[in-house]
Structure 1
Amino acid sequence: MTMTEDKRPSGPDLSKGVSLSEFKDGKLLGHVGEEDVLLVQAGSEIFAIEPLCSHYHGPLAEGLVVGDTIRCPWHHACFALRTGEATRPPALNALAVWDVTRDRDRITVARKREAPKPLTARRSAPAAEKVVIVGGGAAGFAAAETLRREGFAGAVTMLSNDDAMPVDRPNLSKDYLAGNAPEDWLPLRGEDYYRDAGIDLRLNTNVAAIDPKTRSVTLGNGDKLPFDRLLLATGAEPVKLQISGADQPHVHTLRSVADSRAIIKESASAKRALVIGASFIGLEVAASLRARKIEVHVVAPEERPMQKVLGPEMGDFIRALHEENGVNFHLKDTVERLDGISAALKSGAVIEADLVVAGIGVKPRLALAEQAGLAVDRGVSVSEYLETSVAGIFAAGDIARWPDPHSRQTIRVEHWVVAERQGQTAARNMLGRRERFDAVPFFWSQHYDVPINYVGHAESFDDIAIDGSIKDRDCLLKYRKDGRVLAVASIYRDLDNLKAELEMERSRA
């Protein structure tokens, strides 16, 4: 979001100088020329950086300064204040930074620094090593980008069975599906990026087998690709409805751009939609279809939406929020069969719906790992370095089950930001860095104008400490087990959520 013609620059003119006493909580938003600039005090230093996160333009002035970095309050991206580099997903693009001069308590912002040159493959270096990435999602993309960012000069081949370039998947059930984001916002990078960075991205490409002994990948067409290092990032696939009538053309799942496009196309003429499942994805779809003025019915077996993850109070709030926005719930019920546009429920009720979306969960794609003989335990088992049981083969994203130092368990989570961060760590470890993956899991969910941020991981909890008011959309919930806080959820307590993440990082076992 660039500044529009009629938007006036913010705050004082920083090129004329400001006093340290004008800072609030170590930050000051001002401008240089027509550009907004955020001044940030970190220890004894003052930095000047672009004020909006490069992911979804979250206001960094409301973020958290940690050392010489700043974290975005919305989705926990992180930027180096010195260079502007995006050091943690979900942000990928660097921010502009300016030179700062200081004379005692007088701070003046001078020239804008030149942006670093875009990544390109360093073809002059020896390119003997070959890295193959299986998967075109968050983890696979982040790994490929990180390999080049870290200066790897070998061959990088990315195999995706999707027909679309790597995209911002959370958007598929949120703004894009709701009609609030154009399709050209979806790709994480344009086509020219892969060409310039020397990443061989192959779409519509199936992988038939991986042979750890010969260090090769067999493609669906029989071709073989050798590798020195391999990243498995096959992700997860939607659980398919196993009921009569589930194979009809108006019945959809949502995972890919093609899925989202198909639902959007059908929503143009649909009068009533049935969402099967009250999962995060199911309810985000419900909210997006309501934005398109379609009548929505949600059928799910549980007593409250999302109770298992967020607890009963938050579950009741989410239900009420959706009902306020016109969603009809049929809870403690299931769809037994689909007969044309009629859905027969176990309770005996019948719902007529010309659009059906099933959001009943996903399952990790483990077939390649199992066939290759990798250790598997409800996911691909990896070490703290994200390496599988076979040296040189790594796994990241929705399929990886890793030792989490905070919960003190081995866990597997299906979060976008976790997948991106694991892709980055796996890439560095493929380059021999021996970097532990110990990031605290984070995800966000959007329901109408209410964002829910969640850090940590609580597979189960004994109690929930609620600070503030869920009903008033101003709360922080701490999920505890045996007296330890395993996870924190919040609504509009963004800074507190960032602080909770930092506390978890610092209290790792």
Structure 2
Amino acid sequence: MSDQAETGGPDLASGIAQSDLQEGGMIAGHVGDQSVLLARHEGKLYALDAKCTHYGAPLADGAIIDCTLRCPWHHARFDLSTGAAVGAPALQALSCWKVEISGDKMFVRERVQPPEAPRRTENVPTSVVIVGGGAAGEAAAEMLRHEGYGGPVTILSDDSAPPCDRPNLSKDYLAGTAQADWIPLRDADFYREHEIELRLKTQVTAIEPAASQLRLADGSTLGYGALLLATGAEPVRLKLPGADLPHIHYLRTQADCEAIIAGIEAGAKRAVVVGASFIGLEVAAALRQRDIETHVVAPDARPLERVMGPELGDFIRALHESKGVVFHLQQSVTGFEADAVVLQSGERLACDIVVVGVGVRARTALAEAAGLDVDHGVMVNEYLQTSVANIYAAGDIARWPDPYSGERMRVEHWAVAQRQGQAAARNMLGAKQAFTQAPFFWSQHYDAAINYVGHAAHWDRIETDGDASKYDFSARYIDAGRTAALATIYRDIESLKEEAAMEAQAGR
């Protein structure tokens, strides 16, 4: 197979006519066997790797907004000039390429070495400690190094596994279609090369703000110049008869996922998922992909109706039912047995394995015990600072002032946690940049991908367009005359543009 057949598009090393690329346009081509994107923005030419470093999405299908190249699938952001990954969920930069002009043609032939970030030594913390090895903590540590911070960076995680691609745990990895080596966000060499100390199975028992130090479960203490709290959330656990049986599972960590997979590989054929949340339904989809008989129990009349509304709720239910999922809605679980789940109606659902997904609870106990301002989350200002100046919070625990809605907000989205970790890291180094990014998450159900930007805790009406069953659909959640959120199915540009519009409004 030729290089062009593998990569597609024109051979940029052989050149293309300047007239082929209009202002604001992008062309995906190749240089040898490397996919390269050529773009023109505000009169300048840029060439970068053509695939997102997150999941390999074709960036030519995305958008250029405010000198950033944005991924169509999961809204990662890259600096057009440097290729730097400036907005999660991508963490790895794109390579930049040199553009040459000769006559009426443009040529791309060689990579350009990116400049190293200048070493920051003035007006920066003496050290940074991050409590939590999830999305926010990992992204913060990487951003500190990307921004040139040279002081000690330590991540304290009570998990036994390194920071992992948590969204994949309920999707492809659980379904058996993702390899194990895809799951860690970084390998051990990365942490060593970037001088990030990752301490696993390390529990913090107390924060002592006056002394700027932490107390650890082993009796030791650790001082910090700046502290990031990124303790995340933990699953709400059911207190019902039989809830401690070994085949009852929750899904938060890689170890949780491995335990579910082990149960399947041990011969489980029938599963009950308790809860029709996003994670519950993604688990149901993954189990069906493994040909496990799957029942979903939830008290709702429609799955996800409280978040997505009735039309998308009906679509999601129909999609899952078409794949063989059996719903037991407007039902609750009263107990678990060794081979069954007992419903309020008295019905017994025979099963070999149970996965419970009925929500999570923010882990704010450390912050509260330390005297930080806590109210349905750790209260932070626009710079993600807590009530103590050198302590920041990000991710599932942070409750921040959202400038778009005008309300305080706390959401449990992977990309939001990563972006807040990045923002907190920059602000620790004196950036003083308010966090104004619109909340974003994605959910995968078989071959249907739903993107959601904004946050609609309530709405006056929902404006829909297209046909969800044909995977061409949008739902706009209107609250007091403004778009509070937008959900789309394979309308990537519409989703990216709405995200940008929300952020432009928030920045005014």
Kept after mapping to 2: 8 A contact 1:125/1:153: no
- 1:41-440 superposed matches below 5 A: 41-103=40-102, 105-114=104-113, 129-268=126-265, 269-440=267-438
Identical columns (%): 54
Q: Which runs of 5+ in 1 are unaligned?
A: none
C-alpha distance after superposition, 1:447-500 (max 9, x if no partner): 000000000011111111111112221011110111110100000000110011
Look up the equivalent residue of 2:439 and give its one-letter code.
P
Look up the equivalent residue of 1:43 and give its one-letter code.
E
Look up the equivalent residue of 1:142 and give its one-letter code.
A
CA gap of 1:4–1:225, structure 2 versus 1, over 3 A, is farther
* TM-aligned CA deviation for residue 64 of structure 1: 0.5
* TM-aligned CA deviation for residue 340 of structure 1: 1.4
* TM-aligned CA deviation for residue 412 of structure 1: 0.1
CA gap of 1:127–1:499, structure 2 versus 1, over 3 A, is closer
Kept after mapping to 2: 8 A contact 1:127/1:155: no
Kept after mapping to 1: 8 A contact 2:171/2:283: yes
Look up the equivalent residue of 2:35 and give its one-letter code.
D
Deviant stretches of 4+, over 4 Å? 3-7, 121-128
Look up the equivalent residue of 2:228 and give its one-letter code.
L
* TM-aligned CA deviation for residue 20 of structure 1: 3.2
Kept after mapping to 1: 8 A contact 2:138/2:163: yes
Structure 2 Cα separation of the partners of residues 245 and 191 of structure 1:
39
1:501 to 496, 499, 502: 499
TM-score of the superposed pair, with normalisation by structure 2: 0.96
Kept after mapping to 2: 8 A contact 1:275/1:359: yes
For 2:37, the equivalent position in structure 1 comes to: 38
Look up the equivalent residue of 1:175 and give its one-letter code.
D
Structure 2 Cα separation of the partners of residues 44 and 358 of structure 1:
53
Instruction: Give secondary structure in 2 for the equivalent of 1:471.
Output: helix
* TM-aligned CA deviation for residue 110 of structure 1: 3.0
Structure 2 Cα separation of the partners of residues 33 and 366 of structure 1:
51
Instruction: Give secondary structure in 1 for the equivalent of 2:13.
Output: helix
Instruction: Give secondary structure in 2 for the equivalent of 1:337.
Output: strand
Kept after mapping to 1: 8 A contact 2:462/2:477: yes
Structure 2 Cα separation of the partners of residues 68 and 6 of structure 1:
28
* TM-aligned CA deviation for residue 126 of structure 1: 12
Look up the equivalent residue of 1:207 and give its one-letter code.
V
* TM-aligned CA deviation for residue 105 of structure 1: 4.5
Structure 2 Cα separation of the partners of residues 396 and 261 of structure 1:
27
* TM-aligned CA deviation for residue 36 of structure 1: 1.9
C-alpha distance after superposition, 1:138-193 (max 9, x if no partner): 10111111111111111111100000111111011011111111111111111011
The alignment of Structure 1 onto Structure 2 pairs a total of residues equal to 505
* TM-aligned CA deviation for residue 122 of structure 1: 7.0
Structure 2 Cα separation of the partners of residues 130 and 96 of structure 1:
30
Look up the equivalent residue of 1:72 and give its one-letter code.
C
Structure 1 Cα separation of the partners of residues 59 and 174 of structure 2:
27
Instruction: Give secondary structure in 2 for the equivalent of 1:16.
Output: coil
* TM-aligned CA deviation for residue 357 of structure 1: 0.2
Kept after mapping to 1: 8 A contact 2:4/2:10: no
C-alpha distance after superposition, 1:102-149 (max 9, x if no partner): 3564222232223567x9x97999998121111000101111111111
CA gap of 1:380–1:357, structure 2 versus 1, over 3 A, is same
TM-score of the superposed pair, with normalisation by structure 1: 0.96
Q: Which runs of 5+ in 2 are unaligned?
A: none
* TM-aligned CA deviation for residue 279 of structure 1: 0.2
